[in-house]
A and B are shown apart, each in its own frame.
Chain A
Amino acid sequence: MTKTGIQKQSLGTKLILFNEVMLVVILVVIAVIISIGSPKFYSATNLLNILRDSSMAIIAGIGMTMLLITGEVDLSIGSLVAFVGVVTMDVTNKTGNFFLGFLAGIGLGAGVGLVNGLVRTKLKVNSLIGTIAMMMILRGGVYLYNQAAIQNYHQLDSFFYFGNGFLGPIPFPIIVMVILYVIFLFIINRSVLGRQLYATGGNEIAAKISGIKVDSLKILTFMLNSIFAAIAGIILVTRMNSGQPNSGTGFELTVIAGVILGGTSLGGGEGTLVGTLIGVLILRIINNGIIILRMNQDWQVVISGIVIILAVFIDNKRKAARARIITT
């Protein structure tokens, strides 16, 4: 009497439904192409370099993935990265204590996230618009804070180590990234909070009816997202060794591109951290390839743009394939 509506799916359909598998294939194909052009690609130093350069986007990508899962987005993280860098450097200079500088940076991130969340949930401003406004406010604000770059007057080892140090053979930012990644992989997949993020993005009314405090949850996610961006900002300032108000330009786009490429949907309710990791890595490997193949570096941005269109196109195909399965 009742049909369950399950059909045998062809292998092709299954593959296209399994986004991560597709992504790994793309990653491998790109890596092979680059390594044919330049054998240097596979050296341990180069691979660790790629990972270290990716760590900032991956850390910010953790927060962005959670935010997109709830159906929101944050375009202000690029400006936030610059502001956090300047503030961290300034406070460290003035106190002679990197820990206090670090806290100031994280605190700024948490505050900005709180404002973004309140603007979204209380003032009901669409997060795309609200965070573009925040992007402008922060970029203008950082120049008001200090017109020029703030140089390193403290010369603290701990400061230098955070972005440039090694633990054994592994660069320290990678360690930070891996620790955060593993913790949040667990939280997103196993915790009540994680489940509530998916429910809220998947169907906000259903989430509300199930007793989830949707507004509080969204504010928390905005804050986490900004804190992750602040951590990325602190890594960046220690690597540049100066707090530059013009840094982080376009960072938000790289992060969002990686997350979307990783299969997280802009509509909310879907997305995985595994996808985000591979998505960011694909973009970074392309960038790395452009450098070691000695192509014009301006191609980096152009190719990232093309990849994003392709990613969304594949995502649409995937959704259509799924819709076919439902309706047949």
Chain B
Amino acid sequence: MSDTTVLEVKNISKEFPGVKALDNIHLSLRKGEVHALCGENGAGKSTLIKILAGTYRRDEGEILFEGKPVVIRSAHESLTMGIKVVYQELSLIPGLTVAENVFLESFPLKKNKSIDWQTMNARTTEILKTIGLDINPRSLVSRLTISQQQMVEIGRALSHEAKVVIMDEPTSALSPKEIDALFHAIRQLKKMGIAVLYVTHKLEEVFEICDKVSVFRDGKFISTNTIGDTSTDQVVTDMVGREIKTLFPKTNTKKGEVILKVTDLTTEKKLQGVSLELRAGEVIGVFGLLGAGRTELAKAIFGLDPLTGGEVSVSGEKVKPNSTAHATRAGMGLLTEDRKEEGLVLQMSVAQNMTLPSLADFSRFGIINRGDEAKRSQEFVDKISIKTPSLKQKIMYLSGGNQQKVLLARWLMKTLKVIILDEPTRGIDVGAKAEIHKLIDDLATEGVAVLVMTSEMPELLGVSDHIIVMNDGKVTGEFQRNEATQEKILEAAIKQ
């Protein structure tokens, strides 16, 4: 490697329980280079960023910074070494001024150890001007736009004389004009000889601003190419180019009449007029990259997020907006993406978690018949083989896959018309995954209308009859099972 290489990672691996997040990754950044890092969700981009930022520790491999092997143990070490990460969620302190944020880690001091405000404000103005932001250093950060805040973050990198700036999806919240301003700033960084690692899934940006592009897929390194030697098609192929193994043979079910009808659903947070129709026995897969609005759609349909427009009906009957109680009565069930925060009641037992929506079925005059409850729970523990020492075991002691099965059993126990599954197999091991895919298939066979939100391509192609692709709160593509390919789906998902 030439002496202009600033940062090099070699053979880095990182494993979490059940998943190999990074498997033998390589990447090298040169001075003054803007290097794009692309990959689908779960490709390992965020894990690598977190290792470089000192949040995670690598399991194996080596990090070379300016040619010397280093160990990054904390965010502070990462920053003082010269690596600055600008996250999607900015890490500024809103109640402090621009200058205070820029110099947060090391305020310039006078001889008597008091803060040298004059120098600090002057230097802030100077630093921010170099990246094209003309702003009063005494303004409060809370008054700035997202785009300006991002510039302040970059300014913070400069105040530390960072040699590497990592940007994680920097344009996701910016307008086209603001993106231009950001690109101007990136070009300035380039001139100063700073290496920029630009993490994104927006390919047109890659081709506009970057010199090189590396692709990860499923935690593995796939390719690094100079921009001139590659094309959008090539990068897409690298991102998705996996063999789809048929883990789950899909039954060809008979489709009945339309059960769930969603018309023009709009929410304040994300959705901009989403419509869909789901038939009995049909599985619709909803795909989208991070921030596309999948989870928001699931929650809006179920009445968890307030609607600003549109309506949901089940079997022709309108569902009251913002009422989960009415949604469950209408025959809907929802498995949320975030198992721990939004699904499990951790202090409760396996059986208690399972029967929560169907307590009325085993109770008379409001008193639970615990014998019936146990019998019915045991039935499902056996049927979908939930591994638990007893029904009374607290759910927090179960593995992720078994917790997920309990949450599914919660809805299998009821006679459902519609089930919405948001990332049903996230964070669970391969065996349990296949079992859950089989359950989805069984549900469809029984005539339940199934909506699966997923960011995993093999899962999407495996379980769906029909595929809807979302981006930025809108539907950007629809495909029948037989016409869907990974390339077409990804193209629709990154379409602006």
- Which residues of A line the B interface, CB within 8 A? 1-6, 186, 190-193, 195-196, 198-199, 202-203, 205-213, 269-270, 325-326
Contact residue range for chain B? 35 or more
A-B contact pairs, 5 of them (CB 8 A): A2-B399, A4-B387, A6-B393, A198-B347, A210-B410
* B345 CB contacts on chain A under 8 angstroms: 198-199, 202-203, 206-207, 269
Does chain A have a CB within 8 A of B302?
Answer: yes
Find residues 230-283 in chain B having any chain A CB closer than 8 Å to their own CB. none
* B393 CB contacts on chain A under 8 angstroms: 4, 6
Q: Cβ of B334 and Cβ of A4 under 8 Å apart?
A: no
Does chain A have a CB within 8 A of B388?
Answer: yes
Q: Cβ of A2 and Cβ of B401 under 8 Å apart?
A: yes
Q: How many Å lie between the Cα of A212 and that of B324 in the bound state? A: 8
Q: Cβ of B343 and Cβ of A192 under 8 Å apart?
A: no
Q: How many Å lie between the Cα of A52 and that of B317 in the bound state? A: 57
Q: Cβ of B302 and Cβ of A4 under 8 Å apart?
A: no
Return the contact of B325 from the options A186, A195, A205, A213 (Cβ within 8 A). A213
* A211 CB contacts on chain B under 8 angstroms: 324-325, 327-329, 357
A1-B429, A6-B389, A191-B363 known; 9 new pairs, CB 8 Å cut-off, are A2-B401, A4-B397, A198-B345, A199-B356, A203-B346, A209-B302, A209-B328, A211-B325, A211-B327
Residue of A nearest to B327 (CB): A211
Q: Cβ of A206 and Cβ of B356 under 8 Å apart?
A: yes
Q: Cβ of B397 and Cβ of A5 under 8 Å apart?
A: yes
* B336 CB contacts on chain A under 8 angstroms: 205, 209
Does chain A have a CB within 8 A of B368?
Answer: yes
Q: How many Å lie between the Cα of A325 and that of B398 in the bound state? A: 12
Q: Cβ of A192 and Cβ of B387 under 8 Å apart?
A: no
Which interface residue of B334, B356, B431, B432 has the most chain A CB atoms within 10 A? B356
Residue of A nearest to B410 (CB): A210
Return the contact of B368 from the options A191, A198, A206, A210 (Cβ within 8 A). A191
* B316 CB contacts on chain A under 8 angstroms: none
* A195 CB contacts on chain B under 8 angstroms: 352, 356, 359, 368
Q: Cβ of B367 and Cβ of A191 under 8 Å apart?
A: yes
* B370 CB contacts on chain A under 8 angstroms: 190
* A269 CB contacts on chain B under 8 angstroms: 345-347
Q: Cβ of B304 and Cβ of A209 under 8 Å apart?
A: yes
Does chain A have a CB within 8 A of B483?
Answer: no
* A206 CB contacts on chain B under 8 angstroms: 342-345, 356
Q: Report the minimum CB–CB distance from B24 to chain A (whole Å).
A: 24
* B397 CB contacts on chain A under 8 angstroms: 4-6, 325-326
Closest 9 CB pairs of A and B: A211-B328, A202-B345, A210-B357, A210-B356, A205-B342, A203-B345, A2-B399, A192-B359, A208-B324
Q: Cβ of A203 and Cβ of B344 under 8 Å apart?
A: yes
Q: How many Å lie between the Cα of A186 and that of B360 in the bound state? A: 17
